[in-house]
Amino acid sequence: MLKHGILGLLNYGDMSGYEIREVFKDSLNYFWTAQTSQIYRELGVLEKNGWIVKQTIEQDGKPNKNICSITDEGRQELQHWLATSKIDMDMHSSVLMKTFFMGELPIFESIEFFKQLNEEYRAMLENLQQTNASISTYQEMIPDKKNALFWQMTSDFGKRMMQLQIDWTEDCIQRLEKLADEK
């Protein structure tokens, strides 16, 4: 899916690997993490598949810059992926795996686990609150302004998901504290 994320970004305009990483960090990173090395490795695969082309720009006093552009074949691949009705609903969650087996720990350790999660979810929600500014900035850079509506819907999903997880951890803490009080 990383390849399709990169193709989607390049569909908005030509970018260097560094610029892709920065835009990724400001947007997609909230729901799909990728290391810089993964992005550059994927750019090589995309170029090999003929879905992007790179143009080297020479720079004085700095390393040369490779500007990536999506090809017609890359746009076709992006459109095919977007139109495919099969959606991957696999759910892998280390949080839920740990929660499932948390009964093996003392209750006070479990409570601390959920308190820490709660803090992390709150920090993520705070970060997501900043996405409106990023959306406005990037919206000005693209010709088709309707894309920003979809960015906003994605951001809204993230905010709601974080709030759900905050509520869930608070419920877990209350239930565990009640159990601890009963002992």
Whole-number pLDDT of residue 74 = 96
**How far is Cα 13 from Cα 144, in angstroms, rounded to an integer?**
11
Q: Is 129 a residue whose pLDDT tops 80?
A: yes
Distance CA(6)–CA(70), nearest Å, equals: 9
Report pLDDT for 143. 73
Residue 92 is predicted with a pLDDT of 78
Letter for the amino acid at 50?
A: G
CA distance 42 to 137: 26
- Assess contact for 117 and 111: CB atoms under 8 A: no
pLDDT tens across 141-154, in order?
777 778 888 888 99
Mean pLDDT of 132-140: 81
Q: What is the pLDDT of residue 170?
A: 98
Q: What is the pLDDT of residues 54-96, one digit of tens each?
A: 999 998 888 889 999 999 999 999 999 998 877 777 777 889 9
Sign for the pseudo-dihedral over CA of 76, 77, 81, 82? negative
**Do 20 and 39 contact (CB within 8 A), yes or no?**
yes
45: Cβ–Cβ under 8 A, 6 or more apart, which residues?
Answer: 3
Share of residues in the chain with pLDDT > 90 (%): 63
Is pLDDT larger for residue 145 or for residue 108?
Answer: 108
60 three-class SS: coil
Distance CA 111, CA 116 (A): 9
pLDDT for position 25: 84
| Short-list 60, 27, 45, CA closest to 131 | 27
Higher-confidence position of 162 and 31: 162
CA 113 – CA 26 distance, rounded (Å) = 28
What's the confidence (pLDDT) of residue 96?
92
pLDDT of residue 157: 93
Task: Say if strands 52-57 and 15-16 run parallel, antiparallel, or are unpaired.
Answer: unpaired
Q: What is the mean pLDDT of residues 32-58?
A: 94
Mean pLDDT in residue range 34-60:
94
Average pLDDT over residues 93-122: 94
